[in-house]
Amino acid sequence: MKADVIILAAGQGTRMKSDLPKVLHRIAGQPMLQHVVDTARDLAPDRIIVVHGHGGDQVRAAVEGKDLVWVEQDRQLGTGHAVEQALPRVAADRVLVLYGDVPLIRSQTLERLLLACDEADLCVLTAELADPRGYGRIVRKGDEIECIVEEKDASPEIRSIREVNTGIMAMHSEGLRRWIAKLDNDNAQGEFYLTDCVALAREEGARVRAIPAKDPVEIQGVNDRKQLAMLEREWQRRVADELMTNGTTLMDPVRLDVRGKLFCGRDCEIDVNCVFEGVVVLGDGVKVGPNCIIRNSTLDAGSLVEAHSIIEDSRVGKACRIGPFARLRPGSLIEDGARIGNFVEVKNSRIGQGSKVNHLSYIGDTEMGREVNIGAGTITCNYDGANKHRTVIGDRAFVGSDTQLVAPVKVGADATIGAGSTITRDAPEGELTLSRSRQTTVKGWQRPRKEG
């Protein structure tokens, strides 16, 4: 689409009561402004110009993109003034104005608005609200809009109009330049209102159209934290709907949080209160138990994650069992059929096919072969206070419970380590290695008795 997009994002957001610029408050883990930028990108516009003010450096640093043109509005003198700051950077014939604090707007709606400019000079996205308080009201004469009146400037009669200005508009840039040049701030708020362009356009006899939004939620703005939470829930509802439509079972769609992208194969099941962050891929038939957190990870077909497990930057193969209460830290590779049980932490390690680490262990910086059995309470001592060292465990090794493997160290294939050992030197292949003092019994020993 041949158009430039201007995103207004300079407002202070006083009602957020926050040190963070309003547009950086997050919906589904992403700054609101990022959502708006992403939606704008879907339209493939010529350029995206972001008008920032308060906390400009912070805003620029938080929102990605070399394709963005940043313009500063040093004082917030109104929406018309904000657009004026962006105008020198506008080159396309059409302009679309978006708000950085209206994060759920859909690209299909915006396409409709831009397309309406084929037949009109200025198109305003409007909405019919049960409670129009706070919004600018649309004053119509048939299909044409005569003007937009801000709540603070409105008579009781105008206040009773329920069709409101969503703030989102599309127009021909030539007209916009003329109208903006004529704006004044002679109104209740002493601001330069972008909305006054409507009356100015009408004076010229230009065609102004109201394009009604179909979904009142997508045009909702965020002014306070209650509205932020409301839109967060709305976003999550959309994500849950889409997952279910595509064949994923959600035990309770209102108790799911996806802060990023979640891709599910066929017949996945997700229990309540799970959080997915970044990009998460679940293969066919993967089941995730309640209260799990999975971040930037891939789990292959048939794997099961039991309750209260946390998986981060890791890869889990097919038919594995993780948890309950397991923690896979970054760089864990759990190969097909392996098991990571309760209170087990794995970090930067490969757990080979069919190996089992079932209870209360820490496995860090380890290369583990296949069919290994790690007894309860085994710990790799990978850190000497200055450096990290690797532990290598061969195929089919059996490590007895409560063993410490002091890295760097190797346990050979088919080796057995006796329970309670502290292994500081390599344990040879196929042999039993143990390090513990011999058990003795003191014959006839008496327990002390309480005196007096």
Could you tell me how many residues make up the chain? 452
Q: Look at residue 304 and give the partner it binds from ligand UD1, Ca ion, none, a contact being a CB closer than 5 to 8 Å depending on partner kind.
A: none
The residues with which 146 forms a beta bridge, in sequence order, are none
Closest distance to Ca ion from the beta carbon of 150 (Å) = 11
* SS3 state of residue 380: strand
Contact positions with Ca ion (CB under 5 A) in 200-259: 221
The verdict on whether 81 is a catalytic residue reads no
Q: Which two tokens stand for residue 120?
A: 């009109």
Catalytic residue among 52, 54, 81, 359: 359
Write down the least CB distance from residue 102 to Ca ion, Å: 8
Residue 250 interacts with ligand UD1 (CB under 6 A)?
no
The residue within the footprint of ligand UD1, chosen from 3, 9, 399, 409 (CB under 6 A), is 9
Q: Give, as one character, the DSSP assignment of residue 157.
A: H
Which partner, ligand UD1, Ca ion, none, binds residue 82 by CB below 5 to 8 Å per kind? Answer: ligand UD1
Binding flag, residue 59, ligand UD1 (CB under 6 A) = no
164 binds ligand UD1, rule: CB under 6 A: yes
Cα–Cα distance between 323 and 331 in angstroms, integer? 17
Check binding of 103 to Ca ion (CB under 5 A): no
Tokens of 432: 């039993």
Number of residues binding to ligand UD1, judged by CB under 6 A: 27
Question: Which residues, 178 to 237, sit near ligand UD1 by CB under 6 A?
Answer: 193-195, 221
Alpha carbon distance 235, 210 (integer Å): 26
Cβ atoms within 10 Å, residue 392: 18
Instruction: Report the alpha-carbon distance of residue 63 to residue 264 in Å, rounded.
Output: 27
Q: Which of 39, 73, 126, 353 binds ligand UD1 (CB under 6 A)?
A: 73
Binding status of residue 82 toward ligand UD1 by CB under 6 A: yes
Residue 354 makes contact with ligand UD1 by CB under 6 A: no
- Of 327, 322, 324, the closest CA to residue 311 belongs to 327
Q: How many CA atoms lie within 13 A of 349 on its CB side?
A: 30
Q: Between the CA of residue 267 and those of 220, 244, 338, 378, what are the distances in Å?
A: 34, 10, 21, 36
> How far is residue 374's CA from residue 417's CA, in Å, rounded to a whole number?
10
Site for Ca ion in 308-347 (CB under 5 A): none
175 binds ligand UD1 (CB under 6 A): no
Q: Site residues (CB under 5 A) for Ca ion?
A: 221
- Catalytic residue numbers, as ranges: 359
Q: Site residues (CB under 6 A) for ligand UD1?
A: 8-11, 51, 73, 76-79, 81-82, 99-101, 135-136, 148, 150, 164-167, 193-195, 221
